[in-house]
Amino acid sequence: MQPLKIQLKHNLALFLFSSLLSAVPAMAVTDLEAQEGFARARAKIHQEETDHSAHENHADKSQEFRGVFYGYLPCNDCAGVKTTLSLKQKNNYLLVTQPARESSREFYEKGKYSWDDENQTVVLTPKKGGTKTRRYHIEDEGTLIQLNDDGTRITDEADRYALRRSDTVKSREVHIH
């Protein structure tokens, strides 16, 4: 019986020691978390006292004016041209046009767009194989008005040359790609 008691005491001591040993990393993690919390609080207090306006990131306004614009533009030799203009990130655009004729072929043009804040225009510059530079006047956040090749407004029924952002109009017909 005596060896059994010794063995039991030895096992109990080993169990208590191993349970204490397993609790040490938990306390260390808790301690580390507390230190990180204190460091974050100290940094937040310091940040509130410091003026960071000198190095704010002033975003390019053209990046705020992204989206999909569509419309049905007039055409000299057809009933009209269904137009979808997608202004994407990194100043890329995709222009899809489809003249209302017997052939329902869509034409695609890719390129870069630039933002002219002074004249309130978006200028589309096509990549290789593109026809010409196109200009659109920014009427408001949801409307672009196509301009003449020289950048002047089209005087005859200017509202017929409008492309509207897809999220501003409830019913629409959009090209599916």
The residues spanned by each domain of the chain are: 2-55, 61-168
| Residues 108/93, Cβ–Cβ less than 8 Å | no
The rounded distance, in Å, linking the Cα atoms of 79 and 162 is 16
The rounded distance, in Å, linking the Cα atoms of 159 and 106 is 24
Does 120 have pLDDT greater than 60? Answer: yes
**Lowest-pLDDT choice from 92-96, 115-119, 168-172:** 168-172
Name the residue among 144, 163, 6, 27 with its Cα closest to residue 84: 163
Name the residue among 132, 137, 139, 133 with its Cα closest to residue 119: 137
pTM: 0.59
CATH classification number, 61-168, choose in 1.20.1740.10, 2.40.128.640, 2.40.50.1020, 2.40.128.110: 2.40.128.640
Does 170 have pLDDT greater than 90? Answer: no
| Residues 147/135, Cβ–Cβ less than 8 Å | yes
pLDDT digit string, tens, across residues 57-111: 545 554 556 889 989 898 887 888 999 999 998 899 999 999 887 777 898 899 9
